[in-house]
Amino acid sequence: MKLGVNIDHIATLRNARQGKEPSLVEAAKVALLEDILALTMHLREDRRHIKDKDLYDVKELGAKINLEMAATKEIQKIALDLMPYSVCIVPERRQEITTEGGLDVEGQKEYLKEFIKPLKEKGILVSMFIDADENQVKASKYINADYIEMHTGKFSLAFEKGDYNKELEKLKAASSLAQSLGLKVNAGHGLNYENVYLMKEIKGICELNIGHSIISKAVFTGLQKAIKEMLLLIK
Ligand code: PXP
């Protein structure tokens, strides 16, 4: 199982002051010191965190980018120019705090089938961010996606409440159906240091995309060093 590190929150923090700190490129460099598969970045329609230039700056480091994107022509054009390693098609609502719920592939399968064609033709791997639902898995196969990424948000919430079995079983069923159809399987959303071990129970998951909990932990694992360095400078 490989790890994709979502660095959107670094950009959120940077954008809070509209400045340069913390640098997304520096964050990417640090992440790339570890044995990760890719850096995951979501270019939203409203550009609330990742900006267009960030994608190119990180690509220049030689990083594999997993670009999360809505199925719009505007972002498709950017993806075709950027040439990320993979794209993950996600639903996007302007007011949402984060990606809430999976993409309805079933309900727009003809559109999505056409939409992903040029991306696939260029050799970009295409993933569909879906709920663990049989029809969504089958629709992802129908449109010729390479991967599904299972939305683990419901599982994560259930884990917090201490009653996650049903959600875990749904993930297992969706994953094995997908693999039986020849799709590869990723997972992500709400995974953290407490619940991630359970992903090992789902056979054949290729990649986990994790952002919030890693960046949150980094605040504490790195905060003491940051204060020490500042103290040295002002002594
Ligand atoms: N995968 C997808 C498709 C997402 O939209 C997100 C959130 O941006 C993640 C993974 C990572 O979720 P989290 O930040 O909760 O780890």
What's the confidence (pLDDT) of residue 94?
A: 65
Atom of ligand 1 nearest to the CA of 99: 5
Structure tokens at 100: 């809430």
pLDDT digits (tens, 9 = 90+) for 20-55: 999 999 999 999 999 999 999 999 999 999 999 999
Contact criterion met (CB below 8 Å) for 78 and 118: no
129-132: long-range contacts, CB 8 A cutoff, minimum separation 24: 129/68, 129/88, 129/89, 129/90, 129/91, 129/99, 129/102, 129/103, 129/188, 130/102, 130/103, 130/105, 130/174, 131/101, 131/102, 132/167, 132/170, 132/171, 132/173, 132/174, 132/175
Query: Would you list the domain boundaries of the chain?
Result: 2-234
Cα 210 → chain centroid:
7
> Is residue 155 lining ligand 1, measured as CB closer than 6 Å?
no
Q: Just give the CATH number of 2-234.
A: 3.20.20.70
Mean pLDDT of 51-63: 97
Backbone CA torsion sign across 209, 161, 97, 192 = negative
Catalytic residues, which ones?
Answer: 42, 68, 189
> Is residue 102 lining ligand 1, measured as CB closer than 6 Å?
no
The amino acid sitting at 57 is D
Phi, psi at residue 207, to the nearest 5°?
-150, 140
pLDDT digits (tens, 9 = 90+) for 116-152: 999 999 999 999 999 999 999 999 999 999 999 999 9
Q: What is the mean pLDDT of the chain?
A: 96
Mean pLDDT of 56-75: 97
144 secondary structure, DSSP code: T
Task: Tell me the whole-structure pTM to 2 decimals.
Answer: 0.95
86 DSSP β-pair partners: 66, 125
> Is residue 216 lining ligand 1, measured as CB closer than 6 Å?
no
pLDDT digits (tens, 9 = 90+) for 68-89: 999 999 999 999 999 999 999 9
Please choose from 2, 8, 43, 209 the residue to mutate so as to test ligand 1's pocket, defined by most ligand atoms within 8 A of CB.
Answer: 209
Share of the chain above pLDDT 90, in %: 94
Structure tokens at 48: 């609330």
CA of 193 to the centre of ligand 1 (A): 15
Mean pLDDT of 193-218: 97
